[in-house]
Chain A
Amino acid sequence: MKHFIPFIISISCCTQIFSQVTYQRIANADNEPGNWLTYSGNYHSTRYSALQQINTNNVQKLAPVWIYQLKSGNGGFETTPIVADKIMYISEPPSTVTALDAATGRKIWSYVPDIPKDVKFLGFGPVNRGVAVLDNNVYIGTLNAHLICLDARSGALKWNVIVADNKYGYAITSAPVAIDGKIIIGVSGGEAGIRGFLDAYDAKTGARAWRLNTIPGKGEPGNDTWQGDSWKTGGAPTWVPGSYDKELNLLYWGVGNPGPDWNGDARKGDNLYTCSVLAVNPTTGKMAWYFQFTPHDTHDWDANQIPVLIDAKVNGVMRKALATANRNGFYYLLDRKTGEFLAGKAYAKQTWATGLDEKGRAIKIPGKEPTEKGNLVYPSLQGATNWFSPSYSAVTGMFYVSVREMGSLYFKKDIDYKPGQYFMGGGEQLLPGDNAYGAVKALDAVTGNIKWEFRLQSPPWSGVLSTAGGLVFGGSIEGNFYALDAETGKSKWQFQTGGQIFSNPMSFSVNGEQRIAIASGNMLVVFGLKE
């Protein structure tokens, strides 16, 4: 009998290690900076780490501690890891979930969903950007548009529900967002003529709690911004995670492009709620407000950028604000309670608008539409920025964003809708030569004024992470993983990873040591200080 007592104590200790990631813990993620509990680090999506062991004075000693090599799939490795209580949860392309020991990178379990060979992913690669955790569960959206719940300790399947029919081009590459008792998930398919939506599912059972169509149906407000039946195939996907304000009980979610992308002739009107951010009550699934960045978009400048929730003094008054650097080249600051436009200005070269009016609506320059012969417009089809994450530091008051400085010749073509096929109506042709480049830019979060710029060789596909160590981490398409001084933009350190970086950096600590992680090429590289 006496042998059982220490065993029971031991079990008890283990239970502590595998403690539940409750909603309360996620909602107060800032209290435990050693963990990284959501895709963007916290509900406000600041992608800011309060850890400061790695800082401007010692970052030169940063070196790989362990590497995990991709085991599945041929798609890009775009995951942002989640770390909870010494366990790291990542997604591997196309939709595999793997749990790793955060100290060593050794695998604990993997779950490989059954993805049909004829799965449709129209307009993007067979990728996945990450998982969500809640209580004892891990959640992933799959390429064939299922939502799956796994046991966090073993990877065992708890439930698997169909979010949408993949044969029509619906797919999921986004990390879900877990809030109190609900899993929120968006869909891809803006190049397949889908009608987009945002869904909420019961976290325990997988039952759908609500669906918010991102294109209003007949008789609903906003449907008259679509010509004829064009709303039925109008796109408006929701393929990047949103943010959450627990006090206001509002979710903020970006909405993608209208379809067909580059031919707006048959969808005259503003095409709500494409290229917008929506504020949604997650209890009811009802929209509280919307703000449209690019009315009647014909350049594929969808608003699937991470909305960053910041509290800042604007004209002497503290505001609960939403900051976003949009794909269309403009930075916006909105009141996140009302959607009121507070400030905005261009943060990259753009040639399609003279500026923003007092309500934040872009003042379009005529003649910038795609044409049959091609029309040169900045930014390019991939936008001044894209799905990769920005970061906000309340310490510096700066909003950090990876920027793509390039233009495109935009083409328009005729297109008819066919279910489950591309529905784009044109394309782009990039300018020849090395005239495109990239940058990390630090914006004054309140005004959008550019405080500094760090130039990159090529337009990037990596997000950025800012830290209390006074650093901004980011990656380049040539494989450089680097750290900049958050105040000045001066480079402090870099490491050539040997693969293209299509992901976001994050930070955690394990056994008292801070780590920085980035997916690059076919590897997840975890860095730490080496003496």
Chain B
Amino acid sequence: MRKKLKILLCVTMFIAAAACFNNSQKNGAISSGSGGMTDSAAAGKKLFEATCVRCHGMDGSGLTGPSLKRARLIHAPDETSFISVVEGGIAGTGMPSNWAFTDDDCKQLYAYVSYIKNQGKETPPGDSTEGKLVYVKSGCANCHMMNGEGNSIGPDLSEIGASRNPAYLRQALIDPGAALPESTDLDNGYGFSLYLPVKISTLDGREISGLRINEDTYTIQLKDAGNNYYSFNKDQLKSIDKLYGQSLMPSFKTTLTGKEIEDLVAYLYKSGNP
């Protein structure tokens, strides 16, 4: 079998970075013996664990994809729309279409997702009001835009809580290099780490460090810490160093207290979870 659409199946699985996968293991899986799970939900659990966990987490509380532990899923509030989303994806998001899922599979998945949405829902323990002060004090807006304010070097945080769970946000603050998501934009090719720091040396002696925006076999595009844009043909370059495991974002592990980090997580999580 070929097949182009197999890529789409795979996309559901490869969005999270390895560290995120480890993170999901910390979250722990729901025990299969959970009471009250129907046969349909139990079958859905198998499908979920084989396909959905890489983005939505082992327990559905989210990784690079959103937490499913919500009273109401924005794009999939009922079974019909849920089937449509699973089979057809959500345009403009990382949720791909899944050609391999039948309607029956989707119904089983829906039964499982309906079951878990009230199981162990994680509420960030911090104070989001205090977190907003931490956000300002820490200079997050120097790189991030939120609700139209701030700089646009890093990702926009206006709706970040809708797609990132508290554990992911916490890790991004403590070890941002371990939390680079992969792109699901077809124009990024395959397996493309977003916000990857790169160091470029040109044949004419320039050194540029920044975030990779896009890349193909022949060219690379990036922007530096001043948000200046660059594009190079690779044959103009002496070297390209891709700094996997690193991030332009500093770790706040030692510059913020544990409480401040939790407050900031609560503030970020609230963006997208009003």
Q: B5 an interface residue at 8 Å Cβ cutoff?
A: yes
Q: B137 an interface residue at 8 Å Cβ cutoff?
A: no
Q: Can you list, as one digit per residue, whether each of A163-193 has a CB less than 8 Å from chain B (1) or not (0)? A: 0000000000000000000000000001100
**Known pairs A300-B1, A430-B13; A482 contacts B190 (CB<8 A):** no
CB atoms of A433 and B17 under 8 A apart: yes
Q: How far is the CB of A119 from chain B (nearest CB, A)?
A: 13
**Please, how many angstroms separate the alpha-carbon atoms of A436 and B192 in the complex?**
10
Q: How far is the CB of A94 from chain B (nearest CB, A)?
A: 13
CB interface residues, A 371-424, toward B, < 8 Å: 381-382, 386-387, 411, 413, 421-422, 424
Rank and list the top 5 A-B pairs by shortest CB-CB distance, nearest first.
A478-B216, A458-B190, A124-B3, A458-B189, A429-B13
Q: A457 an interface residue at 8 Å Cβ cutoff?
A: yes
Collect the chain A residues with CB atoms within 8 Å of residue B6's CB: 123, 381-382
Q: Interface size (A, Cβ < 8 Å)? A: 54
**Known pairs A413-B50, A457-B217, A482-B217; A432 contacts B2 (CB<8 A):** no
CB atoms of B191 and A387 under 8 A apart: no
Contact of B10 among A421, A430, A480, A494 (CB under 8 A): A430
CB interface residues, B 1-18, toward A, < 8 Å: 1-7, 9-10, 13-18
**Please, how many angstroms separate the alpha-carbon atoms of A427 and B48 in the complex?**
12
CB atoms of A382 and B16 under 8 A apart: no
Q: How far is the CB of A397 from chain B (nearest CB, A)?
A: 26
Q: How far is the CB of B143 from chain A (nearest CB, A)?
A: 23
**Please, how many angstroms separate the alpha-carbon atoms of A56 and B36 in the complex?**
70
CB interface residues, A 419-468, toward B, < 8 Å: 421-422, 424, 426-436, 455-459, 461
Query: Could you name 26 residue pairs across A and B whose Cβ atoms are closer than 8 Å?
Result: A123-B100, A124-B99, A190-B1, A257-B1, A304-B2, A382-B6, A387-B2, A411-B50, A426-B50, A429-B10, A430-B13, A430-B14, A431-B14, A432-B14, A432-B182, A433-B18, A434-B192, A434-B244, A456-B217, A461-B4, A476-B189, A477-B190, A479-B216, A482-B217, A491-B218, A496-B216
Q: How far is the CB of B268 from chain A (nearest CB, A)?
A: 23
CB atoms of A434 and B216 under 8 A apart: no
**Please, how many angstroms separate the alpha-carbon atoms of A490 and B54 in the complex?**
38
Count chain B CB atoms within 10 A of each CB in A76, A78, A382, A430 and give the residue with the most: A430
Nearest residue (CB) in A for B17 is: A432
Q: Interface size (B, Cβ < 8 Å)? A: 40
Contact of B191 among A257, A434, A482, A491 (CB under 8 A): A434
Given A433-B18, A476-B216, A496-B219: 10 more A-B contacts, CB < 8 Å: A123-B3, A124-B4, A190-B1, A256-B1, A382-B3, A382-B6, A422-B102, A427-B50, A433-B244, A480-B216
**Please, how many angstroms separate the alpha-carbon atoms of A494 and B233 in the complex?**
11
Q: How far is the CB of B185 from chain A (nearest CB, A)?
A: 11
CB atoms of A434 and B13 under 8 A apart: no
Q: B46 an interface residue at 8 Å Cβ cutoff?
A: yes
CB interface residues, B 193-241, toward A, < 8 Å: 193, 196, 215-219
Collect the chain B residues with CB atoms within 8 Å of residue A455's CB: 217
CB atoms of B216 and A428 under 8 A apart: no
**Please, how many angstroms separate the alpha-carbon atoms of A456 and B234 in the complex?**
12
Q: Which residues of A contact B (CB under 8 A)?
A: 76, 78, 122-125, 127, 190-191, 237, 239, 256-257, 261, 300, 302, 304, 381-382, 386-387, 411, 413, 421-422, 424, 426-436, 455-459, 461, 476-480, 482, 491, 494, 496, 500, 502
Q: B259 an interface residue at 8 Å Cβ cutoff?
A: no
Collect the chain B residues with CB atoms within 8 Å of residue A434's CB: 191-193, 196, 242, 244
Collect the chain B residues with CB atoms within 8 Å of residue A421's CB: 102
Q: How far is the CB of B235 from chain A (nearest CB, A)?
A: 8
Collect the chain B residues with CB atoms within 8 Å of residue A300's CB: 1
Contact of A458 among B1, B3, B100, B191 (CB under 8 A): B191
Collect the chain B residues with CB atoms within 8 Å of residue A491's CB: 218
Nearest residue (CB) in B for A456 is: B217
Count chain A CB atoms within 10 A of each CB in B3, B182, B192, B216 and give the residue with the most: B3
Q: Can you list, as one digit per residue, whether each of B18-50 has a CB less than 8 Å from chain A (1) or not (0)? A: 100100000000000000000000000010001
Count chain A CB atoms within 10 A of each CB in B9, B15, B189 and give the residue with the most: B189
Q: B186 an interface residue at 8 Å Cβ cutoff?
A: yes
**Known pairs A480-B217, A482-B217; A457 contacts B18 (CB<8 A):** no
CB atoms of A494 and B218 under 8 A apart: yes
CB atoms of B46 and A480 under 8 A apart: no
**Please, how many angstroms separate the alpha-carbon atoms of A430 and B18 in the complex?**
11
Q: How far is the CB of B188 from chain A (nearest CB, A)?
A: 8
**Please, how many angstroms separate the alpha-carbon atoms of A429 and B7 in the complex?**
10
CB interface residues, B 136-156, toward A, < 8 Å: none
Collect the chain A residues with CB atoms within 8 Å of residue B13's CB: 428-430
